[in-house]
Structure 1
């Protein structure tokens, strides 16, 4: 278990808080395990009608913890054995509504998690990015299908290939969010939407969401992405990217091929 994930159930809303603000809520494998537990609980516990994801402090999430990445890159285990993929499977199977409240940075999984949420509230000045290629990795969380479905191929490819952030207003305009509001209103607006969802007919909502998503297809794609992600994570390219990140310099991919 970890103290970096907090959960609270109130009036049918299970709130999952990423509580590692000193690290911009970068997610470790222990945190993924706790997030998996919460997401699985949301699906199986009749007392839970809505799942909310939020971050403590000034960021939603800086993405995966790079120290974890470097450690995992030296292991010989399969990517699907990692706690993150248990969390992704739980997201694919989730048939209850999920809401995200996003302030500050939402990086990597911090962005791709939003593709599995049914309602997303972002701060107007939030910055969302998916710098997988900047880290010599590959997309995850079925984002290779879901992001182009939302943004179109060209915009999604730019988000992946360049890794440059888009702000909350752009996320709203491009269809990644339901609401873009001042940062100090994000939590309240997300809570209001969650309460409205919790008051709706629960079985009707579950069946509606299940019809809108193909859980088996999502999980199959996540496993394919895991193969690409895993091979890249152990590649010389990724090692160079990780070292460049820790040394606060630009990576040099000039000898990669």
Structure 2
């Protein structure tokens, strides 16, 4: 008498897919709220897709085991690699994540979003295979990293600000006073001067560290109001 293995029920499949959609939707909401390239829909599609592939892989494994039990003569030809499809997801999601990364001369954006896509794919795989504990703990850690970590741990970062100005002495005095009053630490400074239309244009490149709660955008806006400054911009370190 043949013994039929208990395969995944429709309710179990639907439950795993819904959990994947909810978890990835929350992660996607965080990315979309922060105006990142990939939002709710992208994260849900990636995670749900990974869950579907994991479900297929699990079903293939169960089918192979069922054949091996009920048809012993086929055991030598039946093969099932539980990691084959999963490995394709892990490597393939990198191409989608790469599309969210923007690289310019001044900055690199989208790395965190690319990583979040990759990690929700991992959650989808865990859910599809039925490892709810792994998916649940992974989700908690992801949300802590995306939403709370930068509030708990602040890593000081150095930025370079290029300031071009005229009237050297009063402007340098103004800049020094501004940095001192706003507790902006100057780690390094480079000087340059050019003559344009019989006028001297001085350019200083400051490597600075801002105090907590003070943004670079705020600093640039305030400095740009000074009449002797003709250009100011952030550049990569």
TM (norm. structure 2) is 0.25
